[in-house]
Amino acid sequence: MNTPNFTAGKCSDCPIRHRAVCARCNADELVELDAIKYYRTYEAGQTVIWSGDKMGFVGSVVSGVATLTQTMEDGRTQMVGLLLPSDFVGRPGRDGAAYNVVATTDVVMCCFRKKPFEELMSKTPHIAHRLLEMTLDELDAAREWMLVLGRKTAREKIASLLSIIARRNTTPDNDSVSTVFDLPLTREAMADYLGLTLETVSRQVSALKRDGVIQLQGKRHVTVPDMTRLMEEAGDDTDGGFLI
Amino acid sequence: MNTPNFTAGKCSDCPIRHRAVCARCNADELVELDAIKYYRTYEAGQTVIWSGDKMGFVGSVVSGVATLTQTMEDGRTQMVGLLLPSDFVGRPGRDGAAYNVVATTDVVMCCFRKKPFEELMSKTPHIAHRLLEMTLDELDAAREWMLVLGRKTAREKIASLLSIIARRNTTPDNDSVSTVFDLPLTREAMADYLGLTLETVSRQVSALKRDGVIQLQGKRHVTVPDMTRLMEEAGDDTDGGFLI
DNA sequence: CGCTTCATTGACGACGTTCAAGACATGTGG
DNA sequence: CCACATGTCTTGAACGTCGTCAATGAAGCG
C-alpha cells in the first residue's frame, strides 16, 4: 500500500517526474529517455546490485526504499546511502558498482541502459545539470552524516536518524502538531547506518521512548509529539538554518 | 618551499591545469575563465571561509592543504573534507557556505567570481562535466570515509588516514620500496578527521611506530617501510581492486 | 504448533575518552 | 646564555559508553 502501482510507463504520470534526474528534461528529451528506459521491480530483501559487478544500467528509485552499503572482509558493514524515491543509482562513466544496493522494501526502479544514457547525457545539458545538482546534494548529505558518525553519541545518532526520516517521509497527520511515520529500516539496518550495534540501537530507541521523546505503535510505527525536542536530542540547531 | 611560487597567472603554466575544474576547457574557454579569475593566498591557520557566510567566489586549491569542517554548538568538530591541490571549493548555485574552510599550510587559491562562473558554466558543458566528475569522486571519497568513521577501530583509522595521505602526497623516494611523506595535519586535525581525540591519535601513532608499521623523524615526517603492511592495518583490501 | 525472523533486555568487559602531568621544541626577553 | 612562556605532542590512570555474548520475548507463517 505504500508501494503505489507504477509500472505503466508514461513519464508524464511518473510520481518522481519533477525530482529525479529527468526533472529538467523537456518533452523531446523525455521521448529519448523513454526509448532507453524500462522498469524493474525488486522484492524486499533482494539485492539490486552487488559491489564489484558490472552494471548495465543506471536509474532512479520510483517507489520503495533501498540501501547503499560497504562491507569489509570480516563482515563489518556500513551503510553509506539511503535511497528514497527519485534518488539516482549508478555512476555514469564507470563500469563496476562500488557498493551493494539492497531493497529494504519492495522497490520499483526506472532503469536506463547505461551506454545510451551516457550518450544522451553528453548531448543534452539538462540531464547532466540535474545530475550535478543531485550529486552535490548527496555530497552534502554524506558530509552531514560524517558528523553524525564521527562525533555524536548513540542517543544523538538515533535521534538524528529519526529526524531525517521524519523530514523526508512524513505522512501528513490529521491531529495537528505531532509527526507520524513508519521506519523503513530494521534495527540492524539502522545500526549499519549509524555505526552502532543493533543492541545499542534497540536500547536507545527504548530510552527515547521511555523519556517521551517518541512513541511507538508496534516496532516500526513512530509518533513524534514534538519535533523540536527530537532535534534537540539530535544535537542539531533547532532553528533550521537553511541554505539556498 | 613546498609552496611553489605560483601567483603569476598564466593558465598554461598552472600546476593544476590538468586536474582542476578547468581541466577539460579549450583555449577559448580558458580565456573566459581568465577574465574572471584572481589569486588569493592564505597563511597557515587562517580561515578561508566561515560556515554560513555569503560566498562571493568559488575556486580551486592551487597549492597547500586546507580542511573542510563542521562544528556543533558545543564545540565538537568533524572534518568532512581534506582539500589538496586541484580540489574545488564552493558550490555553484548556493550563496552561503555550508562548512568552515581553514588553511592548514600556506595556501594559494585560484578564485572565480561566483556569478560569472555560474553563467560560464551554463554556457559551456566542459566545466559542468568536469565538476560533475569531481563531485562524484568526492562523493565516493566521503562514502569511503563513512566506513572508516562508522566501523573501524582507532588503530585502523590512523592506518587508513596515513595510507590515504601516502597515496596522494608521496615524494618519489630515492631508496626504492619505502614510502615517505610529511603529515600536513596536526594531531588535533587528524583527530577531527577520524572522529577521535588527539590523545587517542597520539597513542595509536606511537603504537604503529612501536610495531614497526611506520617510522617517524620528528613528529610529522613519516616513513612507511611496507605499504602493504600499512594497508592491512587499515583493514583495506590489499589487492587494490580498482574501478574505472 | 514449531519454526524463523526481528527485537528487547541483562551482565560483563574492552576500547576510547577524560583529566592530568610532563616532555619537547621554538621563540622572547633579560 | 639562561629563564620563561607557548604550542604541540606524549604518556598515565580512572572512568564510562558502547560492544559482546546470551537469554528471552513478540510477531508472522507454514
**A and B: number of Cβ contacts within 8 A:** 118
- Comparing CA positions, the residue from A41, A60, A63, A49 lying closest to residue A101 is A49
Tell me: the pLDDT tens digits for A87-118? 999 999 999 999 999 999 999 999 999 999 99
Tell me, yes or no, whether A238 lies in a domain. no
For residues A129 and A27, membership in a common domain is answered with yes
B134 three-state secondary structure:
helix
For residues A107 and A204, membership in a common domain is answered with no
CB A21 within 8 A of CB A131: yes
For residues B16 and B91, membership in a common domain is answered with yes
- Comparing CA positions, the residue from B79, B29, B136 lying closest to residue A133 is B136
Asked if the Cβ–Cβ distance from B139 to A142 is below 8 Å, we say yes
Domain that holds residue B75: 11-148
- Comparing CA positions, the residue from B193, B26, B141 lying closest to residue A80 is B141
Asked if the Cβ–Cβ distance from B244 to A77 is below 8 Å, we say no
Tell me, yes or no, whether B26 lies in a domain. yes
- How far away is chain A from the Cα of B138, in angstroms, using its nearest Cα? 7
Q: CA at A136, C1' at C12: how many angstroms apart?
A: 45
Partner residue facing B149 (CB), from A73, A135, A149: A149
For residues A61 and A94, membership in a common domain is answered with yes
Please give the single-letter amino acid code of residue A42.
Y
Can you tell me the distance from the alpha carbon of B94 to that of A89, in angstroms, rounded to the nearest whole number?
24
Tell me, yes or no, whether B83 lies in a domain. yes
Tell me: the pLDDT tens digits for A123-156? 888 999 999 999 999 999 999 999 999 999 999 9
Residue A51 sits in a domain whose CATH number is: 2.60.120.10
| Residue B193 to residues A190, A193, B79, B188, Cα–Cα distance (Å) | 23, 19, 5, 9
Partner residue facing B138 (CB), from A139, A147, A244: A139
For residues B105 and B125, membership in a common domain is answered with yes
What is residue A12's predicted lDDT score, i.e. its pLDDT? 86
pLDDT over 60 at A55, yes or no: yes
pLDDT over 70 at A32, yes or no: yes
Can you tell me the distance from the alpha carbon of B93 to that of B143, in angstroms, rounded to the nearest whole number?
23
| Residue B229 to residues B74, B156, B212, Cα–Cα distance (Å) | 38, 12, 10
What is residue A175's predicted lDDT score, i.e. its pLDDT? 56
Can you tell me the distance from the alpha carbon of B208 to that of B233, in angstroms, rounded to the nearest whole number?
9
- How far away is chain B from the Cα of A97, in angstroms, using its nearest Cα? 8
Q: Give A81's Cβ-side CA count (13 Å radius).
A: 26
Closest nucleotide over all strands to A44 (CA to C1')? C5
For residues A78 and A187, membership in a common domain is answered with no
For residues A33 and A76, membership in a common domain is answered with yes
Asked if the Cβ–Cβ distance from B144 to A78 is below 8 Å, we say no
CB B161 within 8 A of CB B190: yes
For residues B15 and B72, membership in a common domain is answered with yes
- All residues of chain B having their beta carbon less than 8 Å from the beta carbon of residue A129 are 122, 128
**Residue B76 vs residue B167, higher pLDDT:** B76
Domain boundary among B115, B148, B181: B148
For residues B83 and B204, membership in a common domain is answered with no
Q: Where are the alpha helices (DSSP H) in chain B?
A: 27-36, 114-123, 125-151, 154-169, 187-194, 198-210, 227-233
Instruction: Give the residue ranges with Cβ < 7 A from strand D.
Output: A 153-155, 195-197, 199-200, 218; B 186-188, 198-199, 201-203, 205-206, 216, 219-220
Tell me, yes or no, whether B140 lies in a domain. yes
Can you tell me the distance from the alpha carbon of B218 to that of B229, in angstroms, rounded to the nearest whole number?
22
What mean pLDDT, rounded, does chain A reach?
91
What is residue B2's predicted lDDT score, i.e. its pLDDT? 42
Tell me, yes or no, whether A26 lies in a domain. yes
Confidence of residue A4 (pLDDT cuts 50, 70, 90): very low
Residues 6+ apart with CB under 8 A from A204: A154, A155, A157, A158
Bridge partners (DSSP) of residue A215 are A223
Q: Which of B74, B78, B138 to mutate to test the interface with A (most CBs of A within 10 A)?
A: B78
Percentage of the residues of chain A whose pLDDT score is greater than 90: 83
Average pLDDT over residues A170-175: 62
Residue A191 sits in a domain whose CATH number is: 1.10.10.10
Asked if the Cβ–Cβ distance from B98 to A195 is below 8 Å, we say no
For residues B54 and B168, membership in a common domain is answered with no
Cell of A39: 522498469
Can you tell me the distance from the alpha carbon of A106 to that of A44, in angstroms, rounded to the nearest whole number?
4
- All residues of chain B having their beta carbon less than 8 Å from the beta carbon of residue A143 are 68, 70, 80-81, 98-99, 142
Tell me, yes or no, whether B29 lies in a domain. yes
Domain count, chain A: 2
Tell me, yes or no, whether A180 lies in a domain. yes
- All residues of chain A having their beta carbon less than 8 Å from the beta carbon of residue B136 are 91, 93, 135
Domain boundary among B148, B165, B194: B148
CB A39 within 8 A of CB A45: no
The per-residue b/e assignment along B175-213, b for 16 or more CB within 10 angstroms, e otherwise, is eeeebbbebbbebebbbbbbbbeeebbbebbeebeeeeb
For residues B39 and B144, membership in a common domain is answered with yes
Average pLDDT over residues B171-182: 74
Average pLDDT over residues B217-231: 93
What is residue A171's predicted lDDT score, i.e. its pLDDT? 67
pLDDT over 70 at B242, yes or no: no
A216-220, B66-70, B146-150, B197-201: segment of lowest average pLDDT: A216-220
Tell me, yes or no, whether B213 lies in a domain. yes
Q: What is the DSSP letter of A96?
A: B
For residues B107 and B125, membership in a common domain is answered with yes
Residue of B nearest to A81 (CA): B143
Please give the single-letter amino acid code of residue B236.
D
What is residue B159's predicted lDDT score, i.e. its pLDDT? 98
Domain boundary among B113, B148, B183: B148
For helices A198-210 and A187-194, angle between their N-to-C axes, nearest 10 degrees: 100
Bridge partners (DSSP) of residue B103 are B66
